[in-house]
Amino acid sequence: MKHMAKKDDAVSPVVGVMLMLVVTIIIAAVVSGFAGGLAGGTGKAPQASLVANEIVVNEAYDTNTINNMAPNPVADKAADIYVIFEHMGGDGINLNNIEIHLGSLKYAHEKTLISNSKTPNNDPGTIGNKSFIESDFSRSWAQYIRGFPDKKSLIAPGSKFVLHADYGQWTTTYYSSGNIDRKAIGWKPDGAAAAFTIEAGDYLTYDIIDKQTHKSISSGQILVRDFGVAAS
């Protein structure tokens, strides 16, 4: 009996240590999970429905329609073109904290990224002089993404904002069977190696990304309808 008692006494400390280890592991797992939950919360993108519902072309100019490069604007004039987005519901959005990935439904390889950290094109030989834009809202605009019509950066549900385009152009391609006219809206931020253009009749695709989490907030597409381009 004494021998058995000594054996039980030897086992008890081992069981106690194992129980302490199990409890420690469980506590560590709970703390880790809680901390992970907090971190996950800070990495959550805003939840909002942002829908493009109109492309406005008030002014577009191109005096050289025989090339498909950047347009040749009319002297002392500049394009007034923008996409209107509406905040349909969800969290408020700071326009300086988003970037918009643009693409073409027709030409999947054509893509660009626009945000307020990019400087709009201000080359008078490409886009004209923005100070001569007729609209008070667009005259001398200096940021791609702005509240509409109040120009604010914070957008609440029910509010609207715009994405300005740098220019519009009209290209005529000559074939023996006939001529084909193409009109397009273009973006070429200052310093960009190439422009992104979307033709009338194509669908402009967009994916609005939260810059802090790099997660998508909202996406969709909108038809680019035919529009007029003036040569004088």
Lowest-confidence pick of 17-31, 84-98, 138-152? 17-31
Q: Please report, rounded to a whole number, the percentage of residues in the chain having pLDDT higher than 90.
A: 62
Condensed to tens digits (0 to 9), the pLDDT of residues 169-200 reads 998 776 667 677 889 999 999 988 889 999 99
Mean pLDDT, the chain, rounded, equals 86
Range of the domain at 64: 48-223
Q: How many domains does the chain have?
A: 2
The answer to whether residue 232 is domain-embedded is no
What one-letter code names the amino acid at 145?
I
* Residues 52 and 38 both lie in one domain: no
HSE at residue 82, side-chain half, CA atoms within 13 A, is 24
pTM of this prediction? Answer: 0.79
Report the distance separating Cα 142 and Cα 120, nearest Å. 7
CA triple 130-173-226, angle to 5 deg = 55
* Residues 11 and 120 both lie in one domain: no
* Residues 86 and 120 both lie in one domain: yes
Report helix, strand or coil for 211: coil
* Residues 13 and 31 both lie in one domain: yes
The answer to whether residue 36 is domain-embedded is yes
Cis peptide preceding 149, ω within 30 of 0: yes
